[in-house]
Amino acid sequence: MPAGLGIFIEQVSYPMLYELSIDSLHIDAAVRSCRTGHGLHKTCGCRANKPLQGEYMSKEISIIGVPMDFGQMLRGVDMGPAALRYTGLVSRLRDLGHKVIDEGDVLIPIRDADREVAHDKFVGEITQICQAVYDTGSRVAERGRFPLFLGGDHSIAVGTVASVAENEPVGLIWVDAHGDFNTPDTSPSGNIHGMPLAALIGEGHDALVNVGKPGMKVHPDNVVMIGQRDLDPAEKRRIKRSGITIFTMRDIDEQGISTIASKTVMKFAHLKRFHLTLDMDALDPVEAPGVGTPVPGGISYREAHLLMEILSDSGKLGSMDLVEVNPILDVANKTAELAVELTLSALGKSIL
């Protein structure tokens, strides 16, 4: 090793991630003399020894469609599962080597036009649907399969997370432009798709809190929020008091998505697995126009893929939601295509 080459390598508690500090004058020498380990080279940090695509362990994936749009007033998001399937989700997952079964869609009641201004915001219908999602997801998880839920609005997470957190603690990664941490007392709109995270930690509508196993499904210490940039005033106060870890878009701008992703995985070092719920409005509207509540200044195309890739590298992703794809608002199926691409990155697809 050349004199003066200062290298500090700290291998953290999950595979293939190192913190490196290399004297900039000797980077070229480090690259020339690097010795391969598993994943990253331990000196230069390159990806040359990363497993080739297809060498990752094949997963047995069950796709569960939840074409629900009761959680908000804008119609069209119920067509999301169909758009994702149309984009070739199943065949492209199989091309990665995964064994995929499409379990079909959870039965959704017809939305009654006479109740469009319902004061209860369809909480009864949403509870019924989320209980069905919980029942289906639990059966899939009990068979040792990877549940991949296709929404639908983000209210479905009340059932999806409950189903995968039934038997042991799981981490929860909430990627979203919004907090979804309101309760009926703090929500300006009253729409349920702005409340599922609160319900999952045991706060809000009793009916939603008690979907599946009654009470809290995930402890706030085991929740990481990423990409938020549109939070209601009371919701901000609730998040600050909750103990949840949150990386807003300012944090992503300041630290970079690689650091954020690495910190997220480290947060769950004590857990066997985590659940990822990806709301497509977390992406910048330039990249994902087909969402009901777009907010400028979101996660970029490459930032989103890198986040998925690092989460995949951790080996702890055990289940996933894709929500809020609205084909009516989309442009040439751009948002559904990106959602499928991000799912593939989360499930092992890589550049090298």
Q: Tell me, what's the pLDDT at 50?
A: 58
Mean pLDDT of 6-35: 37
For strand 146-151 and strand 317-323, is the pairing parallel, antiparallel, or unpaired? parallel
Confidence band for 31, pLDDT divided at 50, 70 and 90: very low
Return the minimum-mean-pLDDT range out of 51-65, 124-138, 223-237. 51-65
Q: Is 78 an annotated catalytic residue?
A: no
State the Cα–Cα distance between residues 62 and 141, nearest whole angstrom: 9
For strand 223-228 and strand 245-248, is the pairing parallel, antiparallel, or unpaired? parallel
Residues 183-238 have pLDDT tens digits of 999 999 989 999 999 999 999 999 999 999 999 999 999 999 999 999 999 999 99
Is residue 254 over pLDDT 50?
yes
Q: 11: which strand partners? A: 18
Q: Tell me, what's the pLDDT at 71?
A: 86
Q: Is 10 an annotated catalytic residue?
A: no
CA nearest neighbour of 200 among 264, 236, 142, 154? 154
How buried is residue 144: exposed, middle or buried, by Cβ count under 10 Å (0-12/13-18/19+)? exposed
Q: Is 41 an annotated catalytic residue?
A: no
Confidence band for 111, pLDDT divided at 50, 70 and 90: confident
For the chain, the domains span 1-50, 60-346
Mean pLDDT of 94-114: 91
Higher per-residue pLDDT: 23 or 223? 223
Q: Is 95 an annotated catalytic residue?
A: no
Higher per-residue pLDDT: 111 or 241? 241
Q: Is 26 an annotated catalytic residue?
A: no
Q: 101: which strand partners? A: 62
Q: Name the catalytic one among 105, 235, 309, 324.
A: 324
Return the minimum-mean-pLDDT range out of 33-37, 205-209, 304-308. 33-37
The whole-chain average pLDDT of the chain stands at 87
Q: Tell me, what's the pLDDT at 114?
A: 62
Q: Is 254 an annotated catalytic residue?
A: no
Mean pLDDT of 289-311: 98
Is residue 127 over pLDDT 80?
yes
Is residue 26 over pLDDT 60?
no
How buried is residue 4: exposed, middle or buried, by Cβ count under 10 Å (0-12/13-18/19+)? exposed
Is residue 11 over pLDDT 60?
no
Q: Is the peptide bond before 152 cis (omega within 30 degrees of 0)?
A: yes
Q: Name the catalytic one among 281, 309, 313, 321.
A: 281
Q: Is 281 an annotated catalytic residue?
A: yes
Confidence band for 112, pLDDT divided at 50, 70 and 90: confident
3-state SS string for the chain: CCCCCCEEEEECCCCCCEEEEECHHHHHHHHHHCCCCCECCCCCCCCCECCCCCCCCCCEEEEEEECCCCCCCCCCHHHHHHHHHHCCHHHHHHHCCCEEEEEEECCCCCCCHHHCCCCCCCHHHHHHHHHHHHHHHHHHHHCCCEEEEEECCHHHHHHHHHHHCCCCCCEEEEECCECCCCCCCCCCCCCHHHCHHHHHCCCCCHHHHCCCCCCCCCCHHHEEEEEECECCHHHHHHHHHHCCEEEEHHHHHHHCHHHHHHHHHHHCCCCCCEEEEEEHHHECCCCCCCCCCCCCCCECHHHHHHHHHHHHHHCCEEEEEEECCCHHHCCCCHHHHHHHHHHHHHCCCCCC
Q: How far is CA 123 from the centre of its chain?
A: 24
Is residue 55 over pLDDT 60?
no
CATH class of 60-346: alpha beta
Is residue 121 over pLDDT 90?
no
Higher per-residue pLDDT: 271 or 28? 271
Q: Which two tokens stand for residue 187?
A: 């929500």
Q: Is 205 an annotated catalytic residue?
A: no
Confidence band for 74, pLDDT divided at 50, 70 and 90: confident
Stated pTM of the model: 0.86
Is residue 120 over pLDDT 80?
no
Q: Name the catalytic one among 178, 205, 275, 305.
A: 178
Q: Name the catalytic one among 41, 154, 205, 275.
A: 154
